[in-house]
Structure 1
Amino acid sequence: MTRHAKRFIYIALLMIAACCIAGCGNSKAGLVEGKVNVVTSFYPLYDFTKQIGGDYVNVINLVPAGVEPHDWSPKSRDIKNMSGAQVFVYQGAGFEGWVKDFLGSLSSKSTVRVVEASTGANLITTDENKKEWDPHAWLSPLNAQIMANNIKTALIEADPAHKDVFEQNYQKYNAKLSELDATYKKELAATTKKEIAVSHHAFAYLCRDYGLTQMSIMGLSPDAEPTAQDLKQINAFIREHQLKYIFFEELVSDKLAKTLAKDAKVDTLVLNPLEGLTEDQIKAGEDYISIMGKNLKNLVLALQ
């Protein structure tokens, strides 16, 4: 049996279990009557939806706080919420490996509006045939504007009575993203260095937009195992460009980054790929804009 077939069967069984849990039509835990129920596949989409939908939407973020989303898969309750929501938003560009099977398992009678948020974004290819994409498009504020607009359109379709509110909220948030982009351009244009060493190859969009170059310990997936040659190359990169820091992220182990930093006699800093927030960040009221602001401060520090 192929991996795809196994995953399809897994999703189908989860949908059956979800139906049983929900009582096949009874009220669904997590979903709220009287609001547009939106299920998002991971944090940035959740935040964009909250900013645009405001009080008229109930947003459920699938990936729990503190969990890295690359290899996360939905459970029966998640399937129930996705199937019962008015809108389901996912990143696309290959980020969520489970989405294709979930969508294929939906009933033909399903009324959920499916939004591939990265549609229309300026994507980066990762192979010569242009068939595989770097999914980390949200790390470009310019792409975030496009993704937020896709979400706004779906909310208006789901709840046309509040079109004006959604449009106004989007315009306010879009202005914040424009300001974020302008601040990044201004501050990074003034730095003396343009190279960064990172643990996870997640920052190609940020580098493209603001004239930087990244060298990563791991690949597109943060749990990829680097080879001895990879470590040799990043050490050479650090020496060549006289870097003072290696960036790591908070949702995966920083052990390798800190070991490499010690060997290279450099320090470490956080560069958050915004794939999720920790519980402490949520309690502190952090969001996409504030974390991107902290990222910029650390980039400016490292690039002096």
Structure 2
Amino acid sequence: MNVRRRLIPTAALAGAVALAATALTACSGTAGAAGAEDGKLDVMASFYPMQFLAEQIGKDHVKVATLTKPGVEPHDLEITPKQTAQLGEADVVLYLKTLQPAVDKAVAQSGVKNVVDAGTLTTLEAHGTSGHEDHEHAAEGEGAGDGHGEAGEDPHVWLDPVKYAEIAKGVGAALEKSDPDHAADYKKNTDDLVAKLGALDTEFKDGLKNTASKTFITTHSAFGYLAERYGLDQEGISGVDPESEPSPARMKELQTLAKQDNVSTVFFETLASDKTAKTLATDAGLKTDVLDPLEGITDKSQGADYFEVMRANLKNLQKALGTK
């Protein structure tokens, strides 16, 4: 009898443990992989350009979240423990290594198997400006170890529609691999997006073919790929870091350059301060306008998505450079 009394509670305890384990499994399933309840692929994007690709290619088959909320300057992003945990639950992570050091660290700690680094899907290059600033920054060591790529590689590849299309193809292939049941849809959506980016490339080529000037000045040297693609010369006030302060010598040099190269406008962006742009414009008698590096979409953006903002950038460049 004593043995029997000991066995009954032990069996009951085992049953309780089994029920608890079942409940725990169910809970973890709803929070984690593959969007168990809705069947959607759970994609975490590091910032807007990656988010846009996931949404355009994945459409109804994916649930996309982003680590960089609208209005946050991506370069300065800090990751919360909650975001790190969310990252670890994603089926696929899309990011651009070296652009956001905090994201790089979180991705390394996440343990996610399907991680796509956009920088490996195209060729990264080193960009400064067309003038003396390259030598100044090289002397100061800028670009080495500043979170913008190895040997000063420029991470702003999405501003070149051709390179962005190359990245889109790689993202599409990654989604096909992660969710083979919808591979045909991902392939079709990728092809559609690549075609739209090809049309945008043609618009920029035609729109910037004949201009009075080829030089533009911007606070944030994010447009090196765009300038190279369309035969323009980018002159950055602050280099690749939009918050860095230019030297007095650099400001004076830009005033001289503006006169020499028939520059009419100093560009600033929506997510960083316009103080230096306005100071230079006032001192040199120039106008100011927006050239958006598309690191995030806010209510201040000149468009609701990548294509609208890029076309606004094209119009602003045409106006500033004097389209013939």
> Normalising to structure 2: TM-score of the pair?
0.80
> How many residues were matched structurally?
276
Contact map agreement 1:38 1:86 (CA 8 A) in 2: yes
Distance 1:146 1:56 in 2: 22
Q: Of the candidates 95, 103, 110, which is equivalent to residue 107 of structure 2? A: 103
Counterpart selection for 1:158 from 172, 178, 184: 178
Instruction: Tell me by how many angstroms 1:230 deviates.
Output: 1.4
Which structure ranks higher in relative contact order (CA pairs < 8 Å, sequence separation ≥ 6)? 1
CA distance in 1, matches of 2:287, 2:55: 36
Instruction: Give the SS at the match of 1:25.
Output: helix
**Alpha-carbon shift at residue 190 of structure 1 (Å):** 1.7
2:293 matched residue in structure 1: 273
In structure 2, what is the Cα distance between the partners aligned to 1:246 and 1:279?
A: 22
The residue that corresponds to 2:250 in the other structure is 230
TM-score by length of 1: 0.85
Whether the 8 Å contact between 1:28 and 1:81 is mirrored in structure 2 is no
Which amino acid in 2 is paired with 1:25?
A: S
**Who is 2:190 aligned against?**
170
Counterpart Cα distance in 2 of 1:77 and 1:141? 34
Q: Which moved more, 1:224-233 or 1:266-275?
A: 224-233
Instruction: Give the whole-Å Cα distance in 1 for the aligned partners of 2:303 and 2:29.
Output: 34
Structure 2 residue 33 is the aligned partner of structure 1 residue 25: no
Amino acid in structure 2 at the alignment position of 1:138 = W
Give the C-alpha shift of residue 24 in structure 1: 9.0
Q: Paired residue for 2:311, among 293, 297, 302?
A: 293
Pick aligned residue for 2:166 from 146, 158, 162:
146
Instruction: Give the C-alpha shift of residue 102 in structure 1.
Output: 2.2
Deviation per CA, 1:44-86, whole angstroms, max 9, x where unpaired? 1101110000000001011111111001021122112210010
The CA deviation at 1:233 is 1.4
For residue 192 of structure 1, report the CA deviation from its aligned partner: 2.0
The amino acid that maps onto 1:223 is: E
Taking the aligned partners of 2:307 and 2:69, their CA distance within structure 1 comes to 20
User: Structure 1: which 5+ residue stretches go unaligned?
Assistant: 1-22
Aligned-pair RMSD on alpha carbons? 2.3
Distance 1:32 1:26, change over 3 A: closer
CA contact (8 A) 1:120 1:146 kept: yes
Counterpart residue type for residue 50 of structure 1: E
Cα distance between partner residues in 1 of 2:312 and 2:200: 11
Q: Distance in 2 between matches of 1:288 and 1:104?
A: 28
| Counterpart AA for 1:48 | L
Aligned to 1:190: 210
Structure 1 or 2, whichever has the larger Rg, is 2
The residue correspondences of 1:73-88 to structure 2 (distance < 5 A) are 73-88=78-93
The corresponding residue for 2:125 is: 124
Higher helix share: 2
Distance 2:114 2:216 in 1: 39
Question: How far does the alpha carbon of each residue in 1:157-186 deviate from its partner, in whole angstroms, 9 at most, with x for none?
Answer: 111000110011111111000000011011
Q: What does 1:251-262 align with in structure 2 at a 5 Å threshold?
A: 251-262=271-282
Task: Report which stretch shifted further, 73-82 or 159-168.
Answer: 73-82
Provide the C-alpha distance between the structure 1 equivalents of 2:299 and 2:96, rounded to a whole number of angstroms: 22
Between the two proteins, what is the percent identity of the paired residues? 36
